[in-house]
Structure 1
Amino acid sequence: MRRTELKKENKGPVMGPAEETGVSSLFTRKHGFSFALNTFFPWFMFVIALALTAWIVHLALQEQIHPVVFTRKWALWGLLILLPLAYYNIKKDHHRNPAFNYSRLGLLTSIRPGLKTWFRFLPVTLKLMALGLLIFSLAGPALVNVYEETDEKGVDIIIALDVSLSMEANDLEPNRLMAAKEVVADFIKRRPNDRIGLVVFGVYAYPYCPLTLDHNAVTRLLGRVNLRVIDDGRATAIGEALGTSLNMLRRSKSKSRMVILLTDGDNNAGEMSPKEAAQHGAAMGVKIHTVLMGDPSGGGGKGPFRLFRMRSPVNPALLEHISSKTGGTSYLATDKQALRDRFQKLIDKMEKNKYISRFRTNRGIQTGFILAAFLILMGAALLENTWLRRFP
C-alpha cells in the first residue's frame, strides 16, 4: 500500500478545483481589468490595422494628381471577409488550451501579462492587413490620366465628294474620283490640327465620316469610297450634299467652319436646291469653297483606250454663286496638278482656331499594393518565428 501511495504522489501535484479552472479564471477573479483589456485589445488592434491600411491607401492615392478608377469594382466586396476572419482568430485564441512550465497553477496568480501578451495578435493583424491590400489590388485601381493640349489650332472642315458615274472620266489620271481621293488624302495630312469630316453624294448625300481629329480614321474611310458606295450614281445632288454638310457643322463651336465641295457636274437631284443651301451656309457663317473638276467642255474618256467620251452637264456659274454667297472661293481644276494647286490655295487662306484636345488613358497602380502586402506578410512571418513565437 505504501508503494502505491508513493507512486500516486510521484505523478505530480494534485490540483484543486480553483487551479483546474486555469489562467482565465485566475485573471477573472484577481485581475478583472487586465482580463477585460486582454479581451478587447485584439479588437482595438484590428481597428487600428484597418485605419492603418486605409491610411496607406490614402497616402498612395493622395500623391497622384489624377482621379482613380477601379476596373473590377466587384472585388471590393471581398473586404467584408476581414471582419469574420478577425472574429474567428480572436475567438480561437480565447479558447486556446494553455501549456505552462510550472508545477502549480497557483504560482501564476501574481504574474501580470507582459508586452508579448498584448501583441500576440500582431502577426494575425498584419496578415489581415496584407489580405486587405491584396483584395484592393485585385479591384484593379488605375489612374485616369487626362492630357490636355491647348496650343493646337484648327478649323472644322467638311469635304463633300461627288461619287456620281461621271467621276469615272479619266481626264484626271487615273480618273476624276481617284485623283480627288489622292489629293484629299494629301490635304488631310497637311491639316493635323483640323477636325475633318466627309460627305459623299450622288443621287443622295450621306454623312460618311463625322468631324474628328482622328485623321487616320478619315483616311481609311476615304480609301473605301467608290463610285457606287451609296447608290447607282446616275445623278448629282449638290444641294443635298451641302445641306448634309451644314447639318454636320451645326453643333460645331469652332469660329472657323467651312465646306469644300468637289464635283464635276450640275445639280439634277435632291429636294434642296444649291442656292437654298448657300443661304443656310451664309446664315450660319460657314464658308463654302467649290472645286469644279475636269474639262467643262466635255469631260474625259471612259473605258479601255478612252473610247467612250464622258459628257455631263456642268454649271460653273452655280458653283461661283454658292462660293460668293458664303464668302468662299470657286476653283476650276482641269488636271491633277491644277487640283493640287487649288487645294494648296485653300490651305493658305484658311483661318486658325484654338482647340483643346483631350486624351484619356488608364494606368494600373496595383503593383505597389501587392508589394506592400508582400512586405507586411514577411514582417508577420518574422515576428511569428522570433519575438512572438508561441509554444506549443
Structure 2
Amino acid sequence: MCFAWPEHVVYLLFLIPLAVLLGYRVTRQRQARELLADADLADRIMPGGDLRILFVRWLLLFLATTLFLFAFCGPQLCRGSRPVERKGVDVLFMLDVSNSMLVADVSPDRLTRAKSGILRISKGLRDGRQALLLFAGSPLVQCPMTTDHAAFEALLGMVSTELVSDQGTAFDSALNLAMRLFERTEPPGDVKEVQGEKVIVLLSDGENHSGNFRAVADALKQSGVSVFTIVLGKPLPAAIPLGQSSGVKKDAAGKIVKTRSSPETMRRLAGDSGGTFFDASEDDAVYDRVAERISTLVSTSRLVMMPVERIPLYPYVLLAGCLLLLLELFLMQGRRR
C-alpha cells in the first residue's frame, strides 16, 4: 500500500473532532430520553430502537467520511521498485507568528509581508518539496513536507497569530523540531531518498525569548542543512497589537509593551549555522534573491526508489463510501415511515 498524495494523510486528523462530536450527540440523545419520567411517553417520543438506528446512521456517516478522506490520500497498490533521478530541494519555511509580527512598521504588517514573501519564494522553486513550520512560544507544523504546491499555498493562506496560543518567540524549540522533521523527511513506503539538499528559510522580526540557540545552530551546520534567515520590521520601538482583540499588549503595571526588530539576532543565527542573512524590511526583491540562492544548491540530483507498477484503489474506496451513504439514507427514510 502506498499513496499518491501522502501529505494528505494529515487530513485524517479531522476525524478526531468529528468522532467527539458524534459521541456527544449520541450521549445527549440518550440523556434526553432518560430525563423523561414517564417510560411509556419516552418510548413514544424516542423508542429505544429508534435511538439505536440513529446511532447506526451516525456511525455510517463517520465511516463514509473516513473512506472519503482516505480516498483523498490517493491509496494505491504498489508493486516493485526502480531508481529514479529527481531534482529539487527540501525547503522548510519557518514563520514567526508571535504577536509582534502584527506590527505595521512594514506594509501592511510583518506577518502579511512574510507570508507573501514565502509565496514568492515557493513559486520560484517549483521542483522539490516544501514544508511550513509556525512558531511563537512553541512550534507547530502547519504543512508537512510535500510536493503538492497548491496544498502548501492553501495552508500558508490560513496562517495567523491565533494558530499558536503560546506566545513569545522561542527559536531553540522551533529549530529542534525542524531538525526532527528533516530526520523523518523520507517519504513513507514507496520512496527512499538517497541524496538531496535540505534548506531552512526562517522569517522573523528577530526577537528571541528562549535564550541560547547556539547548540541547535551548530547541529544544523554539522548536518549540512543550509539556513537562510530573513528579518522583517524596523529596529524602532513599536506597540504590540493583540491579534483579533482590540488594543495593544500591556504589562502587569498597565504600561504598553513595545517591541523592535533585531537584525543582529537573525544575523547571528545565520552565522552560527553557516547560513546567509537577508533583510526584507525595505525590499521585496530579497525573496527573489533567496529563491535564486536556493536554486544554486541543486548541483546534484536525488535518487529515489519509485514503484514499477501503481494500481489506483481510490475509486473502490469512494464507491464503498457512497454505498455507506446510501445505506444511511435508506435507514433515514425507513425511520420516517
Which TM-score applies when normalising by structure 2?
A: 0.55
1:340 aligns with 2:313: no
Matches for 1:346-385 after TM superposition, within 5 Å: 346-355=293-302, 356=304, 358=306, 361-362=310-311
Please point out which of 215, 229, 235 is paired with 1:296: 235
- Runs of at least 5 residues in structure 2 that lack an aligned partner in the other structure: 1-75, 186-192, 249-255, 314-337
Among residues 214, 218, 223, which one is paired with 1:279 in the alignment?
A: 218
| Residue correspondence of structure 1 range 93-112 to structure 2 within 5 A | none
Aligned partners of 2:132 and 2:142 also within 8 Å = yes
Instruction: Quickly say closer, same or farther: Cα 1:349–1:316, change in 2 above 3 A.
Output: farther
Query: Relative contact order: is structure 1 or structure 2 higher (C-alpha 8 Å, sep ≥ 6)?
Result: 2
Distance (Å, rounded) in 1 between the aligned partners of 2:221 and 2:77? 46
Q: How far has the Cα of 1:299 moved from its partner?
A: 5.3
Of 256, 275, 280 in structure 2, the residue corresponding to residue 328 of structure 1 is 275
Q: Tell me what 2:183 maps to.
A: 250
Distance 1:363 1:328 in 2: 42
Q: What amino acid is aligned across from residue 209 of structure 2 in structure 1?
A: N
Distance across 1 between alignment mates of 2:259 and 2:227? 23
Task: Give, in whole Å, the separation in 2 of the partners of 1:143 and 1:241.
Answer: 36
**Deviations 1:165-209, CA, capped at 9 Å, x for gaps:** 011122332221112112212222221222111110011112222
CA distance in 2, matches of 1:164, 1:204: 10
Deviations 1:73-112 (A, max 9, x none): xxxxxxxxxxxxxxxxxxxxxxxxxxxxxxxxxxxxxxxx
CA drift of 1:225 comes to 1.0
Task: Note closer, same or farther for the CA distance 1:291–1:363 as it changes in structure 2 (3 Å cut).
Answer: closer
1:332 partner amino acid: D
Worse-matched range after superposition: 185-194 or 143-152: 143-152
Unaligned runs of 5+ in 1: 1-141, 365-392
Q: Structure 1 CA distance, aligned partners of 2:129 and 2:230?
A: 20
Distance 1:322 1:329, change over 3 A: same
Q: Identity, % of aligned pairs?
A: 26
* Structure 1 residues 184-203: aligned runs within 5 Å: 184-203=118-137
| SS of residue in 1 equivalent to 2:163 | coil
Count the aligned residue pairs.
Answer: 217
1:263–1:363 distance in 2 versus 1, CA, 3 Å: closer
Aligned to 2:154: 220
CA distance in 2, matches of 1:350, 1:256: 7
SS at match of 2:284: helix
Residue in 2 that maps onto 1:156: 90
Please show how residues 1-392 of structure 1 align to structure 2 within 5 Å: 150-233=84-167, 235-252=168-185, 253=193, 254-269=195-210, 273-298=212-237, 311-335=258-282, 337-355=284-302, 356=304, 358=306, 361-362=310-311
Report Cα offsets for 1:319-357 as digits up to 9, x if no partner.
222212322101111136254345345345433442348
**Structure number, greater radius of gyration:** 1
Q: Contact between 1:171 and 1:295, CA under 8 Å: does it hold in 2?
A: yes
Deviations 1:32-91 (A, max 9, x none): xxxxxxxxxxxxxxxxxxxxxxxxxxxxxxxxxxxxxxxxxxxxxxxxxxxxxxxxxxxx
2:265 aligned counterpart, secondary structure? helix
User: Does the aligned pair in 2 maintain the 1:236–1:267 contact within 8 Å?
Assistant: yes
Question: Corresponding residue for 2:62?
Answer: none
- Provide the TM-score with structure 1 as the length reference: 0.48
On the 8 A contact 1:291/1:330 being kept in 2, the answer is yes
* Distance of 2:98 and 2:77 partners within structure 1: 50
Q: Deviations over 1:149-178 (max 9, x none)?
A: 935311111111000001112233222111
- Structure with greater helix percent: 1
Q: Is the 8 A contact 1:154 1:352 kept in 2?
A: no
Query: 2: CA distance between counterparts of 1:185 and 1:284?
Result: 27
CA displacement 1:271-313 (0-9 Å, x = unmatched): x73212101112212122111111123359969xxx9799424
Give the root-mean-square deviation of aligned CA atoms.
3.3
